[in-house]
Chain A
């Protein structure tokens, strides 16, 4: 056990002290967040878009559509020649003429003249504004008052709740979806990144011919476990640093861009139209409030359990493959296929499980040890009795523990034989024989 510790220590230290580790761990989140900040900065400071409206048919009744985002309207009474001049001077970006005799019920078209090309997003929101105004004008033509119009257009309100009366609002479902998907995806990344790292480490030892030197001091199992534990610790540290950095930077971002939240809500409000803007705003606040309702201890606890369990299960398989191949990375590719297939399946099942946590496929995926690390977290995000019954969670945990004990045991036997074999790449059949034969 002591020697496993010495090996794990070396594996950990040599990786953590590498420059690439520092770069990857610290620069990556910095890059992501600064990219994010730049995007916000540019979208916040994008130029206002002023439109002069010549309303000869008086469809706007003298009231202008509310200023929305960067687009503002200005009601003017000038001829087109003057307007052209003003656009060239830069007072306006474009002008829109509603000619006299414009039939609001009919299919007459309006002419929108601008100096610069109009982007798709801008076009869409301009059209929305005009449409909304037209609809209101049409209704008032038939003497339908605004209040009645609003009540006619009101959306249905359904309150979703669980059997035990816990509120299951839309924002909660969305949040469960997001948390489940992100956690599942992170575990998927962990399995791949650190599993491959273990495999490369094993291959390095074999290619450098140091394996036999070390095997004469420690048992192959200790060498394999030391490597797996050391790299697992690297992974944990890296995740911890990423987590802390991203949270700190996000907080800093909010401090430096106080308008960020409003910006986000206004962007959201643009799609459903002006009337629902306040509702959308409410949804954002509700989402923020709901974050407090999240069962963080449960999510984090399950995340760490499946992170470790999945990592231990897969990294031992990766180690076995690494021990079996030689210098040629292509050999590794073909042997890796049976290992990467279940991980890819897991991510497919996971995307289904976040939508429908109790479907048969999700239940199977969250119990089967090769896919459960990725799938189960997606179900747990929906809450324990609602997303996954407690007995399934416990069964899945036990199966995962049995799974990684089994895989480590088999991998250790393949490893022991493979690490000292030079020459041709073994087939899966041969590796299976190494795994099942008695010592």
Chain B
């Protein structure tokens, strides 16, 4: 059973179709990347899933049942992009307070906050105020308060912004741990290398619509351009008279070739073997998500224009 099923979700504002007929499913324990340029409608979509906004149309199924914001929000942990904490409040109390709002009892909340603080080596911070913390420290605290109540669904919007690589890794490991324990994670970001590293499944949104949906591997396969790089022991000679590929790039001792549609890698190798060139490496070049992202949203104006909505 899927943790989350989003079916034909729509949210129109006065001047924009913020989310226009978006559907996707989220399996338990999976890490899901929600990608898209600025203003694509990601935040609006997330706000509908967290019960902050009501959709205009379509429905959300949570744990196989119709999403009921009042009772289901306690099973969701959401770390928004625009996030913060009470500056003047002691961080221990603050974490306990936020988890009480998620339905934990005071003793339960205190115990879990202590466990997490020990895990993140923050025990000594308990009586510090948020204004005393560095940005990275408060970011860690924010993450702790998001996942403290062991939600079934965790939504993280740009979770690594402002973190150094060490702390980013710490959070990343926790994300894997949470996924292993059965939480599903929606991960919204612009940083494609992180998505490639972490996510199992991605969707790409643009102008309120879903324009791509699949596993990271699948998407890369789908958008591959049959490019291969071939390494040689010596400078390859000028290539003439082949019908299997075009050379699209050339470096010292290396060629990048694009294989034509009705040919196979073997044809390329055959060609060079026939020429008695000694090959040291042969590798397929898959597009990075970054390339795919740019290719798909290219041509979109950098900021969304206001449009007339007629229903």
Contacts and interface: CB of A to CB of B under 8 A. Distances in A.
Interface of A: 3, 6-7, 10, 14, 204-205, 208-210, 212-219, 420, 422, 439
Given A208-B84, A212-B52, 7 more contacts: A3-B101, A14-B89, A208-B85, A208-B86, A209-B83, A210-B86, A213-B79
B126 to A, nearest CB: 16
A217 B80 contact: no
The 4 closest A-B pairs by CB, nearest first: A209-B84, A216-B78, A208-B84, A217-B101
A368 B238 CA distance: 94
Nearest to A212: B80
A210 B86 CA distance: 7
Interface stretch (B69-77, B110-118, B298-306): B69-77
A287 B17 CA distance: 71
Contacts of B263: none
Given A216-B52, A216-B78, A217-B74, A7 B85 contact: no
B89 A7 contact: no
Contacts of A219: 69-70
B52 A6 contact: no
A8 to B, nearest CB: 12
Given A212-B80, A216-B52, A10 B97 contact: yes
A205 B52 CA distance: 16
A6 B82 contact: no
Contact of B80 (A6, A7, A208, A213): A213
- Identify which of A204, A209, A216 gathers the most chain B CB atoms within 10 Å of its CB: A216
A420 B52 contact: yes
Contacts of A213: 78-80, 83-85, 98, 142, 145
Nearest to B88: A14
B282 to A, nearest CB: 50
Contacts of B100: 6
A216 B86 contact: no
B84 A210 contact: yes
B87 interface: yes
Interface of B: 47, 50-52, 54, 69-70, 73-74, 76, 78-80, 82-89, 97-98, 100-102, 142, 145
A210 B85 contact: yes
A119 B46 CA distance: 77
A210 B79 CA distance: 10
Interface centre among A209, A213, A420 (most CB of B within 10 A): A213
A164 B86 CA distance: 60
Contacts of A6: 97, 100-101
A382 B82 CA distance: 54
A31 to B, nearest CB: 26
B101 A439 contact: no
A7 to B, nearest CB: 7
Contacts of A208: 84-87
Contacts of B80: 209, 212-213, 216
A267 to B, nearest CB: 48
B173 to A, nearest CB: 23
Contact of A217 (B87, B102, B142): B102
B57 to A, nearest CB: 14
Given A7-B101, A10-B97, A14-B89, A216 B83 contact: no
Nearest to A208: B84
Contacts of B142: 213
Contact of B73 (A7, A209, A216, A420): A216
B82 A216 contact: no
Contacts of B98: 213-214, 217
Contacts of B70: 219
Contacts of B69: 219
A14 B73 CA distance: 26
A216 B84 contact: no
Considering residues A14, A210, A214, which has the most beta carbons from chain B within 10 angstroms of its beta carbon? A210
A205 B89 CA distance: 12
27 contacts: A3-B101, A6-B100, A6-B101, A7-B101, A14-B88, A205-B86, A208-B84, A208-B87, A209-B80, A209-B84, A210-B83, A210-B84, A210-B85, A212-B80, A212-B83, A213-B78, A213-B80, A213-B83, A213-B84, A213-B85, A213-B142, A213-B145, A216-B52, A216-B76, A216-B80, A217-B102, A439-B54
A189 to B, nearest CB: 25
Which of B69, B82, B89, B142 has most A Cβ within 10 Å?
A: B82
Contacts of A209: 80, 82-84
A402 B82 CA distance: 36
A217 B82 contact: no
Contacts of A14: 86, 88-89
Contacts of B101: 3, 6-7, 214, 217-218
A217 B52 contact: no
Nearest to A218: B101
Contacts of B51: 216
A367 to B, nearest CB: 38
B243 to A, nearest CB: 58
Nearest to B80: A212
A439 B56 CA distance: 10
B153 to A, nearest CB: 11
Given A3-B101, A6-B101, A7-B101, A215 B83 contact: no
Nearest to A433: B14
Nearest to A207: B84
Given A6-B101, A7-B101, A215 B52 contact: yes
Contacts of A212: 52, 80, 82-83
A217 B76 CA distance: 8
A422 B81 CA distance: 13
A6 B89 CA distance: 15
Contacts of B86: 14, 204-205, 208, 210
B202 to A, nearest CB: 23
Contacts of B47: 420
A124 B84 CA distance: 67
Contacts of B145: 213
